[in-house]
Amino acid sequence: MMEEENNIEEDDAASPPVRTLHRQRVSLQKNSVCSRSYFMVVMVFFHVYIINVIALLLYVHYNNGSTPSTPNLDFSRRDSSHKVSEASDAQTPADSGFARDMYLPRIEGIRVGHVQKVSLVPGKVHEMKTLSLKPLLFEIPNFLSGEECSVVVRLAQLKGLMESQVMVPEGQEELNQQLNLSPEEIFNFLDLNQDGQLQPHEILTHSRVRDGIWLTSENLKEIYDGLKVDQDGNGLLSLEEFRHLRSDAFQHFLMQRGVERSQLVRNSRHTWLYQGQGAHQVLQDLRKRITSLTRLPSSLVELSEPLQVVRYEQGGHYHAHHDSGPVYPETACTHTRLTANTTSPFQTSCRYITVLFYLNNVEEGGETTFPVADNRTYEEASLIQNDVDLLDTRKHCDKGNLRVKPTKGTAVFWYNYLSDGRGWVGEQDEYSLHGGCVVTRGTKWVANNWINVDPDYQRQAHYQQLVSQQQEIQEQEEIISELNSERHTETHQDL
């Protein structure tokens, strides 16, 4: 074949490069500088060839390197014949705000009692058991070794613990003033069954906690007597009786009478431990293990709150609550608030996942209760009945649907939010309601890791972008200062 090509004539229909070469050959022969010029041609080809091979290899490498990020997108969007969009945003055929680099995989619960093996630490296999589907809740025994538990407790003790106290929701007083509600309007709002009377549980459902004080129906009776507000003594408040009360009358009365620790929402002490570079290796390892466990992007885990270590003394408790509130379009997340450039009066901590570690074995009590786990329905009003108050972890922990016994080294974790069906955070999962049952004997040590994610994808992406820019600037500054110090050292050595 090569022989044949060698016989091509000038008027042949060969490809242009071949023809050019042919001509070159002819002209070079004539110039009788053939050897040098031919060498040039060969070298040029050789270099072009090498450059092309390198370029293609780079292209292949680049192509392979970029694909692994694609599967991180929403799985359901891969099938182009089947576009899925939320019902809430009515018209999103093009889905313009949907260019996502991050996908939040959710672990499948399969069914209650399902056990899956996970490898989080080299050379060790953990068993992860599904405890409930609503909320999506898992238990992993021996997540921490005994030694690791002790280290965390010691570090917390070294740092020192402060009284845990749920704060007055910021701006609530102003909010009340902003909303400018009349006593009649508040009365109607509280009167769930619209019978013109406020039953104790109707008051507790909506005005349970203020200044960290937890109202019970017993408290209410006491208050009614003390303030002489329930004049007919039937245990119910009429609109007329309600009118005589100032908005914070109940808590105000209790504050003046004196409040015991057991009457607070939360009766414990806690501290925060930083888990980033420079922190104790156990704390850093813990964070890495959580990234493996939750399968979330490490950037999300690293930008989340520090580890919270909590100590409950005998008699300590934490009444049932949600770790993170519902999110409406106007709600800001604490962690992205500064970068979101909004001034919303509504704010929540946007804790997508809670990971709770038990750091010791409690002698008696101290279970974590999920009173409505896997309930068929969630009705706020039915949680507080006059006889059974499912939110009260001092009295009715045994009435809830699910209780986890604290076992040293065990981790439990759950999702405080549902999926949005498109690979991101959706609505709050109301069923994630939980509390710490009263410790009846001994002390209870636990730690919490929360993974903060803004349900507004754009806000989270913007936040992470700003943080990484900030980090780059810092790194550059560090390099410059290092260079400066090096030059300084060099200069120093020169002297």
Positions 106 through 135 that interact with a copy of itself (CB under 8 A) = 107-108, 110-111, 114-120, 127, 133-134
Rule CB under 8 A: is residue 105 a binding residue for a copy of itself?
A: yes
Sign, CA dihedral 377-380-384-389, equals: positive
Return the C-alpha torsion angle 226, 229, 233, 239, nearest 10. -160
Q: How far is the CB of 384 from a copy of itself (least distance, A)?
A: 20
Give the integer Cα–Cα distance in Å for 414 and 401.
16
Measured at the CA of 418, the angle between CA 391 and CA 464, to 5 degrees, comes to 110
464 alpha carbon, distance to own chain's centre? 13
Q: Find the shortest distance in angstroms from Cβ 409 to a copy of itself.
A: 19
Q: What is the 3-state secondary structure (H, E, C) of 278-289?
A: CCCHHHHHHHHH
**CA–CA separation, 288 and 144 (whole Å):** 12
- Segment interacting with a copy of itself, rule: CB under 8 A, options 23-31, 144-152, 199-207, 222-230: 23-31
Site for a copy of itself in 217-246 (CB under 8 A): none
35 binding a copy of itself? (CB under 8 A) = yes
Q: Closest approach of Cβ 419 to a copy of itself, in Å?
A: 6
Give the one residue of 19, 38, 153, 345 binding a copy of itself; rule: CB under 8 A.
38
Q: How far apart are the first and last CA of the chain?
A: 73
Structure tokens at 471: 């980090």
Is residue 57 within the footprint of a copy of itself (CB under 8 A)? yes
Q: Which of 376, 374, 383 is nearest to 321 (CA)?
A: 383
Interface with a copy of itself in residues 67-96 (CB under 8 A): 67-68, 70-71, 75-76, 78-79, 81-87
One residue of 141, 183, 306, 426 binding a copy of itself per CB under 8 A: 426
Task: Of 5, 33, 29, 32, give the one whose Cα is nearest residue 19.
Answer: 5
Bridge-based pairing state of the strands 347-348 and 332-333: parallel
**Strand pairing partners for 132?**
137
Burial of 234 (0-12, 13-18, 19+ CB in 10 A): exposed
- CA 152 – CA 355 distance, rounded (Å): 15
Check residue 491 for interaction with a copy of itself (CB under 8 A).
no
Task: Give the shortest CB-305-to-a copy of itself separation in angstroms.
Answer: 23
Question: Which of 427, 443, 461, 462 is close enough to bind a copy of itself by CB under 8 A?
Answer: 427
What gap in Å lies between CA 210 and CA 172, rounded to an integer?
10
Q: Is 34 in the site for a copy of itself (CB under 8 A)?
A: yes
Residue 17 in contact with a copy of itself, rule: CB under 8 A: yes
By CB under 8 A, tell whether 36 contacts a copy of itself.
Answer: yes
The single residue among 12, 23, 56, 172 that binds a copy of itself, judged by CB under 8 A, is 56
Say how far apart CA 274 and CA 284 lie, in whole Å.
Answer: 9
Q: Are 464 and 303 in contact (CB under 8 A)?
A: yes
Q: Which stretch binds a copy of itself (CB under 8 A): 56-64, 216-224, 248-256, 462-470?
A: 56-64
Q: How far apart are CA 193 and CA 165, in angstroms?
A: 32
Q: Which helix (H) or strand (E) holds 453?
A: none
CB of 457 to a copy of itself, least distance (A): 16
Toward a copy of itself, which CB reaches closer, 103 or 445? 103
Compare residues 115 and 338 and give the one whose CB is closer to a copy of itself.
Answer: 115
Which position among 150, 339, 344, 401 is part of the footprint of a copy of itself (CB under 8 A)? Answer: 401
Which 293-312 positions form the footprint of a copy of itself (CB under 8 A)? 293, 295
Matching residue, tokens 């490898």:
119
Looking at the Cβ atoms of 220 and 293, the one nearer to a copy of itself is 293
Output the six-digit token pair for 245: 């009360």
Segment 337 to 376, residues that bind a copy of itself, using CB under 8 A? 374-376
Binding span for a copy of itself by CB under 8 A among 48-56, 140-148, 226-234, 434-442? 48-56
53 part of the interface to a copy of itself, by CB under 8 A: yes
* Binding of residue 328 to a copy of itself (CB under 8 A): no
Q: Does 451 bind a copy of itself (CB under 8 A)?
A: no
Which residue in 418, 425, 433, 453 binds a copy of itself (CB under 8 A)?
A: 418
Q: Does 5 bind a copy of itself (CB under 8 A)?
A: yes
Q: Residue 479, interface with a copy of itself (CB under 8 A)?
A: no
Q: CA torsion, points 109, 114, 438, 256, in degrees to nearest 10?
A: 10
